Amino acid sequence: MAHKLLEIDDLCVDFQLPDGDVAAVSHVSLTLAKGETLALVGESGSGKSVTSTAILRLLPELARTRGAIRFNGEDLLGVPNRRMRELRGNRIATVFQEPMTSLNPLHRVGDQIKEVLRLHRGLRGQAARTKVIDLLDQVGIPDPARRATSYPHELSGGQRQRVMIAMALACEPDLLIADEPTTALDVTVQAQILGLLRELQQRYGMAILFITHDLGIVRHFADRVCVMRRGELLEQGPTAEVFANPHHDYTRMLIDAEPSGSKAPVAESSPLLLEAHDVRVLFAIKRRWFGHSDYFEAVRGIDVQLKRGQTLGIVGESGSGKSTLGRALLRLLESRGEIRFDDTDIAHLEGSAMRPMRKRMQVVFQDPFGSLSPRLTVGEIIGEGLRVHHPELNRAARDRRVQQALSEVSLDPGMRNRYPHEFSGGQRQRIAIARALVLQPEFLLLDEPTSALDRSVQATVIELLRELQRKHDLTYLFISHDLAVVRALADSVLVMKEGQVIEHGDTQALFDNPREPYTRELMRAAFMGEAA
Amino acid sequence: MTTESSPYSGADRSPGLPAGGPNPPTQPDPAAGQSLGREAWRRLKQNKAAMVSLWLLGAITLACLFGPYLLPWGLAEVDWNAFNSPPSLTDGHYLGTDANGRDLLVRTLYGGRISLSVALIATLVSLVIGVLYGAISGYMGGRTDNLMMRFVDIMYSLPFMFLVILMMVVFGRSILLIYAAIGAVEWLDMARIVRGQTLALKRREFVEAAHALGVSDRKIITRHMIPNAIGPVIVYVTLTVPKVILLESFLSFLGLGVQEPLTSWGVLINAGTNMMQTAPWMLLVPSVFLALTLFCLNFLGDGLRDALDPKTR
């Protein structure tokens, strides 16, 4: 490939923080040819997004950039701001991760695309309108003329991302920077968006710099791949080569981080621990002071049976009601129907009568940033349940229990006086697990406990959960959209869609031989990386 | 100062900054158990502006409390030799006298007692009632929230002056009345702000986790809601204090507040404005005291907000 569209030569980015410089990117060199797809892969903090932001010169003030970024031979680090504005959105376009926040909620999507056309192409009036509809049509939005007058909140996540792509395509850029464009989307939508990007790339011959943490996508999508860690470029090469023969241990670890193994079945005689019948959850959409309120039924009559020591996986896309079901079973949400826990009817226990049961059923949430109160120390967070359920413990005894719980999740008990923000995502998730474990529960609701974590960290958390289950004979309800994780952890699986059970069966049987078309579609989208 | 001033969710993942970067901070001794209070005090001490402000505020308060006893003039004592006299070191009126020949420094210090105590009490009232009311309303939600907030609306819609005059008719004139009247309206804004914070906070997973642990509603409000809403509350308090001081002077101007010969900063500034052309010191002296106090409160407020946030170090 003779003509290089983008050449990054020895790029270094330092952030000048009050307590010293932090190197976010050090000595990265890479090239991208016309029409090529290059994937920049790495876990959080690897500097992949900083690299792409540096290309657009959109880094915050405190960043110092050295090296060279040549785009069509022009060094972007040297050109004046005015020239940079001409390039952004015009020759170099971007699609971000979060389609909700990257569109202005107060403007119609058509107008937002028009703005790009007006800025860079000088198109106005009817000409702009026609072009907008044409673009929306190209990215596969049904009824584009009507959709152009919609507001962002009226579109689904996938459609919003399509609008973002339409906006990026408006000026037929030479380079499209896609920063985790499918991470926030459901797997089936993700597959569609990737297909669309590929199709558009062929049509326009643009180069794509694809930033992601998901190796499954890379294998399927990219021509070449660059692996980054802690700001350094570890390895680059053609995708097939890197996957077949990774040179660096870290790359190999990333490729192997896919969870493996399966759950050993529990004894046939194991008693039933959790049993729910015809659970329904209603959300009020519009509450009225008088008369009937309008309701939305998020969970529509679901039965659950879980034996002691078992793990039930619940999978489904966003909005399927899987988290709502989990919360209803723990009585965190009002629901209808029967819920029995160890032969106690808990569906109708009120307030203080429910409290003794809470000790036996605990929960770990998805977001390791949101699930720990930032104003309490880790020790206080873990000890809180003990204050409620074991008021007889004095301070020293409570502290001992907290330390035990911390060492059980392989954290240093000496860190109990620190605050949550001082810990990494994986460590915080361990803290959340410790908070649940300190009460010695029998049942744990795991609501996407690994989804916000990097692959390598995810593997260790899964290992921890497995070990704890074996040791304490715990019963898990594991909610996830990640089929690979569920396959490795669950005895049986419940596939949910729109508040209903689509399919239910033993993990092995269900994964080997899915009956319903929806399940099959989910699996095809989730495991496309492996199939390739 | 670090740029990470906002204590809310977004600050965790500010774009562009290396997420996994400099995580382990400078914790001198991780094993030593330090309470949030002592930690906050340590962090506050590192903030120079806040510490200087704290000392200055202390000095102003002490001066208002004890200063008048050290000066040779009384609050209403008229010096027949010095009407409208400018500041001078020779005649004992260090900061001049007013049109009636009363010593301005003494009057300003006496006025400070009223202004500072009004500010302190009204702010405390608004803080206690407003924070509790807002937190309960926001956390309970639904119909409770609706009823509690409609009551706030009704209070808002009552004309303030009408309320004060009504109270005056019922209870008679007294300085306590000013405290009560101002406190009664100031907590409304605070309740609104805290309610908004609480609404956002109660959707966070740590609140749900506390719920799952069986923590009672009362504990959730006091342990999880209020501490996490403290940032905007402190900022708002620093805005409330000047508002209250000016509100008091407004009441006094209408003849509903403190009465001659008693005075307050607001009253003095008001009187000084009339004499601005001929006797500028009469405006400047109380204004400088007021401005200094407000500056100090703002710096101290910022310092406190940062010190109480475990994320700043």
Q: pLDDT for A449-488, tens place per residue?
A: 888 788 778 888 898 999 999 999 999 999 988 888 888 8
Does residue A298 form part of some domain?
Answer: no
Q: Are residues A38 and A107 in the same domain?
A: no
Task: Indicate the residue among A256, A291, A321 that finishes a domain.
Answer: A256
User: Is the per-residue pLDDT at A242 higher than 50?
Assistant: yes
Q: Are residues A52 and A185 in the same domain?
A: yes
Q: Which residues of A147-159 are buried (b: 16+ CB within 10 A; e: fewer)?
A: bbebebeebebbb
User: Is the per-residue pLDDT at A299 higher than 60?
Assistant: yes
Q: Are residues A143 and A4 in the same domain?
A: no
Decide which of A89 and A227 is more confident: A227
The answer, for B1 touching chain A at a CB cutoff of 8 Å, is: yes
The answer, for A63 touching chain B at a CB cutoff of 8 Å, is: yes
CB count within 10 Å of CB B49 equals: 15
User: Is the per-residue pLDDT at A69 higher than 50?
Assistant: yes
Instruction: Supply the pLDDT for residue B20.
Output: 38
Instruction: Supply the pLDDT for residue A170.
Output: 86
Closest by CA position to B19, among listed A45, A423, A429, A457: A45
Q: Are residues A80 and A116 in the same domain?
A: no
CB count within 10 Å of CB B97 equals: 29
**Which band of pLDDT confidence, cut at 50, 70 and 90, is reported for residue B29?**
very low
Instruction: Supply the pLDDT for residue B227.
Output: 87
**Which band of pLDDT confidence, cut at 50, 70 and 90, is reported for residue B1?**
very low
Q: Are residues A83 and A186 in the same domain?
A: yes
Predicted TM-score (pTM) of this structure:
0.79
Does residue A309 form part of some domain?
Answer: no
Chain A closest CA to B213's CA: distance in Å? 5
Tell how strand A294-307 and strand A500-506 pair up. unpaired
Residue range A369-374: mean pLDDT, rounded: 86
The answer, for A18 touching chain B at a CB cutoff of 8 Å, is: yes
Instruction: Supply the pLDDT for residue B23.
Output: 39
The structure tokens listed for B75 are 């609050």
Q: Are residues A84 and A207 in the same domain?
A: yes
Instruction: Supply the pLDDT for residue A362.
Output: 92
Instruction: Supply the pLDDT for residue B312.
Output: 66
Q: Are residues A194 and A163 in the same domain?
A: no
The answer, for B22 touching chain A at a CB cutoff of 8 Å, is: yes
Task: Indicate the residue among A212, A234, A256 that finishes a domain.
Answer: A256
Does the bond joining A368 to the residue before it have cis omega, within 30 degrees of 0?
A: no
Whole-number percent of chain B with pLDDT over 70: 87
Residue of A nearest to B217 (CA): A351
The structure tokens listed for A253 are 């670890």
Question: Which stretch of A51-60, A305-314, B77-86, B286-295 has the lowest confidence by average pLDDT?
Answer: B77-86
Question: Which stretch of A372-376, B147-151, B246-250 has the lowest confidence by average pLDDT?
Answer: B246-250
Number of residues in chain B: 313
The structure tokens listed for A20 are 């010293």
Q: Are residues A87 and A24 in the same domain?
A: yes
A-B C-beta contacts closer than 8 Å: 137
User: What distance in Å separates the CA atoms of residue B291 and residue A500, rounded to the nearest whole number?
Assistant: 64
Instruction: Supply the pLDDT for residue A434.
Output: 93
Residue range B160-167: mean pLDDT, rounded: 80
Residue range A403-413: mean pLDDT, rounded: 91
Q: Are residues A80 and A29 in the same domain?
A: yes
- Taking only the tens place, the pLDDT of each residue in B206-259 is 888 888 888 888 888 888 888 888 888 888 888 888 888 878 878 877 777 777
- Taking only the tens place, the pLDDT of each residue in A390-400 is 999 899 999 99
Tell if the CB–CB gap between B30 and A417 is shorter than 8 Å.
Answer: yes
Task: Indicate the residue among A256, A278, A301 that finishes a domain.
Answer: A256
Residue range A329-338: mean pLDDT, rounded: 89
Chain A environment of B227 (Cβ under 8 Å): 373, 375-376
Residue of A nearest to B226 (CA): A375
Does residue A195 form part of some domain?
Answer: yes
Domain with A49, as residue range(s), is: 1-91+173-256
Question: Which stretch of A98-107, A342-351, B48-57 has the lowest confidence by average pLDDT?
Answer: A98-107
Does residue A513 form part of some domain?
Answer: no
> Which B residues 212-251 touch A at CB under 8 Å?
212-216, 219, 223-224, 227-228, 230
CA atoms within 13 A on the CB side of A505: 12
- Give the start-end residues of each E strand in A135-223: 175-179, 207-212
Tell if the CB–CB gap between A374 and B34 is shorter than 8 Å.
Answer: no
The answer, for B30 touching chain A at a CB cutoff of 8 Å, is: yes
Which of B205, B222, B233 best tests the A interface by mutation, with the highest count of A CBs <10 A? B205
Q: Are residues A78 and A3 in the same domain?
A: yes
Residue of B nearest to A21 (CA): B22
Residue of B nearest to A61 (CA): B16
Decide which of A199 and B20 is more confident: A199
User: Is the per-residue pLDDT at B203 higher than 80?
Assistant: yes
Mean pLDDT, all residues of chain A = 86
Chain A environment of B36 (Cβ under 8 Å): 375, 377
The answer, for A51 touching chain B at a CB cutoff of 8 Å, is: no
Does residue A445 form part of some domain?
Answer: no
Tell if the CB–CB gap between B310 and A19 is shorter than 8 Å.
Answer: no
Which of B14, B17, B42 best tests the A interface by mutation, with the highest count of A CBs <10 A? B17
User: Is the per-residue pLDDT at A43 higher than 90?
Assistant: no
> Which A residues 387-426 touch B at CB under 8 Å?
388-389, 414-415, 417-419, 421-424
Structural domains in chain B?
Answer: 60-308 (1.10.3720.10)
Chain B environment of A366 (Cβ under 8 Å): 205
Instruction: Supply the pLDDT for residue A3.
Output: 66
Tell if the CB–CB gap between A62 and B3 is shorter than 8 Å.
Answer: yes
Q: What does the H/E/C string look like for A430-488? A: HHHHHHHHCCCCCEEEEECCCCCCCHHHHHHHHHHHHHHHHHHCCEEEEEECCHHHHHH
SS3 content of chain B, % helix, strand, coil (to 5): 70, 0, 30
What ipTM was estimated for this complex?
A: 0.78
Mean pLDDT, all residues of chain B = 79
Range among A299-313, B2-16, B160-174, B262-276 rated most confident: A299-313
The total number of structural domains in chain A stands at 2
Does residue A185 form part of some domain?
Answer: yes
Question: Which stretch of A35-39, A76-80, A265-269, B106-110 has the lowest confidence by average pLDDT?
Answer: A265-269
Q: Residue B176 is which amino acid?
A: L
Q: Are residues A85 and A225 in the same domain?
A: yes
The answer, for A363 touching chain B at a CB cutoff of 8 Å, is: yes
Check if the beta carbon of residue A247 is closer than 8 Å to that of residue A235: yes
User: What distance in Å separates the CA atoms of residue B265 and residue B287, rounded to the nearest whole number?
Assistant: 8
- The region that residue A291 occupies, defined by phi over 0 for left and psi between -120 and 50 for alpha, beta otherwise, is left
CATH of the domain at A13: 3.40.50.300
- Taking only the tens place, the pLDDT of each residue in B172-193 is 777 777 777 788 788 899 999 9
Q: Are residues A30 and A177 in the same domain?
A: yes
Does residue A384 form part of some domain?
Answer: no
Check if the beta carbon of residue B133 is closer than 8 Å to that of residue B107: no
Does residue A349 form part of some domain?
Answer: no
